[in-house]
């Protein structure tokens, strides 16, 4: 209902935190090559639990907490988002550990993670699609606001 479309109008792939894995990529390739999809949208949302968890893990690691990268599925899912938190902190000038919450806010993490994932999706599609099909594809990053129902377009990639 976010995009005011009915059943069958959109091929939806949901992954917590909008991370790209082989299953999500295979699903996108199926939608593009077999169903004719030409728009791929990586849609984050406000108050994202995965981004909140990644922010917390990043801050804990920066304050001398656990440095271990877990091998469990949730830790693996959060890893690219934690990397995004690190990028945000570096762009904020590597603030001290006391100011990390303001340097790596959850909402900025949601937005940057959507952009980073959309860029990764576009690169993966470039590697897996013919130039003819790729020339018709648009990949966009967006953020859905749970409070007011609006969608903010953050970034768009096209050949």
pLDDT in tens, 142-151: 999 999 999 9
Mean pLDDT along residues 49-75: 85
Residue 154 has pLDDT above 70, yes or no: yes
| Structural domains of the chain ordered from first start | 16-157 (3.40.1050.10)
User: What's residue 71's pLDDT?
Assistant: 82
User: What's residue 3's pLDDT?
Assistant: 65
Q: Band of the pLDDT at 91, cuts 50, 70, 90?
A: confident
Please, are residues 33 and 27 in contact by the beta-carbon 8 Å criterion? no
Which one has a higher pLDDT value, 118 or 94? 118
Please, are residues 80 and 116 in contact by the beta-carbon 8 Å criterion? yes
User: What's residue 98's pLDDT?
Assistant: 61
Percentage of the chain exceeding pLDDT 70 = 91
Q: Band of the pLDDT at 64, cuts 50, 70, 90?
A: confident
- Looking up tokens 């690219």 gives 80
* Angle CA 58–63–65, to nearest 5: 75
pLDDT in tens, 100-144: 778 889 999 999 999 999 999 999 999 999 999 999 999 999 999
Mean pLDDT along residues 79-90: 93
Which one has a higher pLDDT value, 103 or 57? 57
For 123, the 3-state DSSP assignment is: helix
Give which of 33, 21, 84 is closest to 55, Cα–Cα: 84
Which one has a higher pLDDT value, 112 or 9? 112
Say if residue 45 carries a ligand binding annotation.
yes
- Among left, alpha and beta (phi > 0; psi -120 to 50; other), residue 52 is alpha
- The mean pLDDT value of the chain amounts to 89
Please, are residues 121 and 29 in contact by the beta-carbon 8 Å criterion? no
């Amino acid at each position: 209902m976010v995009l005011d479309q009915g059943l069958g109008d959109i091929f939806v792939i949901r992954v917590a935190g909008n991370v790209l894995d082989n299953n999500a990529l295979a699903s996108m390739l199926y939608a593009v090559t077999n169903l004719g999809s030409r728009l791929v949208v990586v849609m984050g949302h406000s108050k994202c639990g995965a981004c909140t968890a990644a922010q917390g893990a990043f801050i804990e690691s920066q304050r001398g907490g656990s440095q271990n990268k877990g091998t469990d599925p949730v830790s693996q899912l959060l890893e690219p988002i934690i990397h995004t938190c690190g990028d945000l902190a570096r762009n904020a000038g590597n603030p001290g550990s006391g100011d990390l919450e303001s340097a790596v806010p959850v909402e900025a993490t949601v937005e940057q993670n959507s952009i980073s994932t959309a860029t990764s999706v576009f690169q993966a599609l470039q590697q897996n699609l013919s130039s003819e099909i790729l020339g018709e594809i648009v990949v966009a990053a967006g953020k859905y606001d749970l409070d007011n129902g609006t969608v903010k377009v953050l970034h768009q990639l096209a050949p």
